[in-house]
Structure 1
């Protein structure tokens, strides 16, 4: 390790290279609540449902922006989840061209249970940090994801 001055870049890289597969493995083992198990939900659905759970009903375009995908991709996902009864969609009364998406009330508790463990773990990790430290941590993960994707896409 280091001499008390904090991790060197190489020490941090080594530590994270060992830690990341464990984090991903743990995330993949999060059990899907029984009422949702037969619905063939994938990680992409988890992200969409997390936004709806934490932020409430959103339009397809708002979801697309947050998920950083095309609105047509979100429309397809919402259509699939709607047919399975996981989400509800309806026209926005103020603008009938907009579709508003929300978690179906019958599945809200199951979706909440699916996301709760991870949310509690992130809360425990992030609460002790200052606002600036949280921003730096999140931006560091975003940078890693962006660079890893660029490396993979460029190969």
Structure 2
């Protein structure tokens, strides 16, 4: 089976660090550009959803309802930050918050059933693309990809000096 030109093995696949960096510097802006051009569904356009909301929504769609503290841990943000995001999305009608039956101090956050189809339709192309890219890899290779992306993101956040 022929691969699309954008996923053919290329420079950098032979272990050359600089060639790998050049390849990724070409691929990443294209991918990010495609993500930015993803059209927000009509039902969500007036809600001013921002990139900071997408990870939270994806977690709830994939893993189901959870507490604000669990969201904060998984998003690697402070509980106050997660609480602010949940508040924003709740006011927009994209999330539901309810009392935990087992502990009234805790709030369970979930995606309302009425919003689930449009959110899944909007966010699923990214999940499908990752599934296509990661499925053929061995578990150790998938772990290496995840490690590389998280290290890349951390380096960008820290200034990424050589």
- Which TM-score band applies after superposition, normalised by the shorter structure? over 0.9
Q: Which residue of 2 aligns with 1:85?
A: 93
Unaligned runs of 5+ in 2: 1-9
Aligned with 2:20 (options 12, 15, 33): 12
Distance 1:5 1:121 in 2: 20
Shift of 1:7: 3.8
TM-score of the aligned structures, taking structure 1 as reference length: 0.92
Distance 1:118 1:5 in 2: 24
Q: Is the 8 A contact 2:98 2:107 kept in 1?
A: yes
Structure 1 segments of 4+ aligned residues over 4 angstroms from their partners: none
Map Cα deviations across residues 36-85 of structure 1 (whole Å, 9 max, x no partner): 11100001111100000000001100101111111111111111111111
Q: Which residue of 2 aligns with 1:147?
A: 155
Aligned with 1:45 (options 25, 32, 53): 53
Q: Which residue of 1 aligns with 2:109?
A: 101
Unaligned runs of 5+ in 1: none
**Once superposed, what is the RMSD of the aligned Cα atoms?**
1.7
Distance 1:5 1:107 in 2: 42
Determine helix, strand or coil for the equivalent of 2:98: strand
Greater RCO (CA < 8 Å, at least 6 residues apart): 1
Distance 1:74 1:5 in 2: 39
Aligned with 2:72 (options 64, 71, 78): 64
Higher helix proportion (structure 1 or 2): 1
Map Cα deviations across residues 99-152 of structure 1 (whole Å, 9 max, x no partner): 110001111101101111111111000000011100110011001111121116
TM-score of the aligned structures, taking structure 2 as reference length: 0.89
Shift of 1:5: 7.4
Q: How many residues align?
A: 152
